[in-house]
Structure 1
């Protein structure tokens, strides 16, 4: 891969992981000049992968803030989305909503067993959250966590089952219950940002 292509992909990855950025902020992340970053953004814009808007940030002139378009987000894999959506529709039409719900609940239980097995031996809540982030990252969710003054912020910058979740939001509800069960009844897990509600990522506040 040549340097230009590498920077091209890196710019998209930064905007996916970190959200909208100004030209100067992106240049700093890429460790290139603002002119170099501008060239990358204009190229990405021409491909329909990024867009910009004028945003006021305190005093001074508004800044051009760059973010991914839907096409830009689609550069990241959605696990067999069309096939999964068709399966959901067929199950719903032929077996009914109750059967679909049972399948999703059974999948959630499988995930819970997997998470609990991998968390076995974890002593602290942070240990469990760290392991959960590693698991979800391997599953394609681009997950990580941050420690806050009153708990932990668990972040997923991508949803590899987004189209399936749009077709059936029981996936999201089951996922939240699975997190809660894996981390323990003494822990509170609250979803505060949701991709399906228009947020750029899913975020969960976790408190002991």
Structure 2
């Protein structure tokens, strides 16, 4: 975790706001008030400060009636506040592998790493149904720092594993094949096709991925 960013953000309430927003697709001030039990003006002031400092931006969420609602969401700048499994050394090692063994060497190495990780997950996977295995995989990914959750809301696309963070974001930036390897891993562990609805990796927004399960799930 980036200590400089922590010192800059300061107050515990601001960190609570960032943590709440991290596990969501964006929240209004009223939603943050209900979740945190603080005053409207207190939350609003913290959000304005975080927005001024580049940690939040806003968008207008459509409503069924009336004007769109202003919602706060995290920017890419907050990424270093959360867990990371890859770092500059990882990228330097892969670059050295490319220089020594050729242009395709890093991808071959990554493929091998994910093949082993996939085999290990398949051996440990728990659950008789796809839903049970998806819940188990989401729990494993959450423990690994992906802030994952299994949801079934039809309005959000149906059964899916929603990940609010990527500890290997810098690896994904440099080697996009990692996204495909993660998708292949999900499909192997769950034994069904998985569609990636979106993977937010642009410079202005926080990292997130949504893995949609492509067949009906029996919840009996």
Q: How many residues align?
A: 202
Could you tell me how far apart the structure 2 residues matched to 1:13 and 1:7 are?
Answer: 10
- Does the 8 A contact of 2:160 with 2:211 survive in 1? yes
TM (norm. structure 1) is: 0.85
Picking from 33, 37, 46, the partner of 2:43 is 37
TM (norm. structure 2) is: 0.81
Q: State the match for 1:101 in structure 2.
A: 107
Shift of 1:22: 1.8
Shift of 1:145: 0.8
Alignment of 1:44-83 (within 5 A): 44-53=50-59, 57=63, 59-83=65-89
Shift of 1:115: 0.9
User: What is the aligned-residue RMSD (CA, Å)?
Assistant: 2.4
1:100-144 Cα shifts (integer Å, max 9, x gaps): 222111111111122112215x21111111111111111111111
Could you tell me how far apart the structure 1 residues matched to 2:61 and 2:212 are?
Answer: 27
Shift of 1:201: 1.4
Q: State the match for 1:116 in structure 2.
A: 122
Structure 2 runs not aligned, ≥5 long: 1-9, 216-220
Deviates more, 1:166-175 or 1:146-155: 146-155
- Structure 1 residues 151 and 34: CA distance shift in structure 2, 3 A: closer
Alignment of 1:1-208 (within 5 A): 5-53=11-59, 57=63, 59-120=65-126, 122-148=127-153, 152-184=159-191, 187-196=192-201, 200-208=207-215
Higher relative contact order (CA 8 A, sep 6+): 2
